[in-house]
Amino acid sequence: MDSSTRVRGSSRSALDGRAWVSPGRAGTLIVILSAVAFSTAGLFTRLIPVDVWTMLFWRGVFGGLLILSAIVVQAPSGTRQAFATMGRAGFAVAGCSTFATICFISALRATTVADVTILYATAPFFAAAIAWAWFREVPRRATLLASGLALAGVAVMCGVAASSGHVLGDALALAMTVLMALMMVLIRRNRHVSMLPAACLSAFACAVAVLPLATPVSVTAPQLGLLVLFGTTQFGLGLLLLTIGSRLIPAARSSLLSNLELPFAPLWVWLAFGELPSPATWLGGAIVCVAVAIDLAADRRVGQ
């Protein structure tokens, strides 16, 4: 058995889990866990008093190291082969993830958080459209209906405040949304190939991209310890799980489940700092959770 076969075989066994867990259900759980990991970003940014660019640099470095460690553990004798076999699709995934992160940070500096959040909630529709146009993957009606309900929930959370004068920021947020949707479609389309190397490259590329604006050596030892946790548990683990889970379920569903990040984020800040979310945040978050629950219930009815 050659090394590429070992990589694919070990990756498949790690992704599919035990025989009694279907790939669809495993993928659903994995993407939900990735949303939970990503949702801790607000918690860490409150805990770490460093500038955003330095934070993003160390986040990318430690996130990339975590994913690289996972690749080495998965294929200790075929790590180089794992990177070689990801092909052009892998570089496309890495590019989408990297530029989406850059667009996200730039959008937050040019428009409101509400605009960015609402636009990102449209990702399931972009993912469904791209997947259908490319390889005719038809999303279930329940997923599209749940995505619409989740979008309404996000709008409630953000107060549906119309913005003005934020054309550039909104354009960057829209570009980020399309890039993330395309990344999930690429992973799904090339599910026979492990995209963990692509996720690893993306994390390191994000660190390189912000390095000119960062001051990595300015952090203290306690801050560095928190940055290690931030990079590994929030970014690295979140990206790793999203990359794995997106292979196993339709791209539109991956995008819908990723919206669970939105109601979880204020929950952690409330638990850690006692900052009580507004009634609109509670209501909108509940709507998003109900939307995901509807999709999961429909999934159980069809026996996937």
pLDDT in tens, 95-154: 999 999 888 888 877 777 777 888 888 889 999 999 988 888 877 888 889 999 998 988
The average pLDDT across 259-277 equals 85
Statement: the pTM of the whole predicted model exceeds 0.85: no
Per-residue pLDDT band for 90 (boundaries 50, 70, 90) equals very high
Q: Which residue has the higher pLDDT, 190 or 166?
A: 190
Highest mean pLDDT among 144-158, 197-211, 287-301: 197-211
The average pLDDT across 289-301 equals 84
Residue among 35, 68, 50, 56 at smallest CA distance from 98: 56
Give the count of beta carbons closer than 10 Å to the beta carbon of residue 88.
Answer: 8
CB-based contact 216:204 (threshold 8 Å): no
Environment class of 138 (CB within 10 Å of its CB; exposed 0-12, middle 13-18, buried 19+): exposed
Three-state SS sequence of the chain = CCHHHHHHHHHHHHHHCCCCCCHHHHHHHHHHHHHHHHCCHHHHHHHCCCCHHHHHHHHHHHHHHHHHHHHHHHCCCCHHHHHHCCHHHHHHHHHHHHHHHHHHHHHHHHCCHHHHHHHHCCHHHHHHHHHHHHHCCCCCHHHHHHHHHHHHHHHHHHCCCCCCCCHHHHHHHHHHHHHHHHHHHHHHHCCCCCCHHHHHHHHHHHHHHHHHHCCHHHCCHHHHHHHHHHHHHHHHHHHHHHHHHCCCCCHHHHHHHHCCHHHHHHHHHHHHHCCCCCHHHHHHHHHHHHHHHHHHHHHHHHCC
CB-based contact 173:107 (threshold 8 Å): yes
pLDDT at residue 186 above 90? yes
Q: What is the mean pLDDT of the chain?
A: 85
Question: What pLDDT score does 14 carry?
Answer: 44
Residue among 242, 103, 240 at smallest CA distance from 175: 103
Question: Where do the domains of the chain lie?
Answer: 23-302
Question: What pLDDT score does 237 carry?
Answer: 96
The average pLDDT across 49-78 equals 90
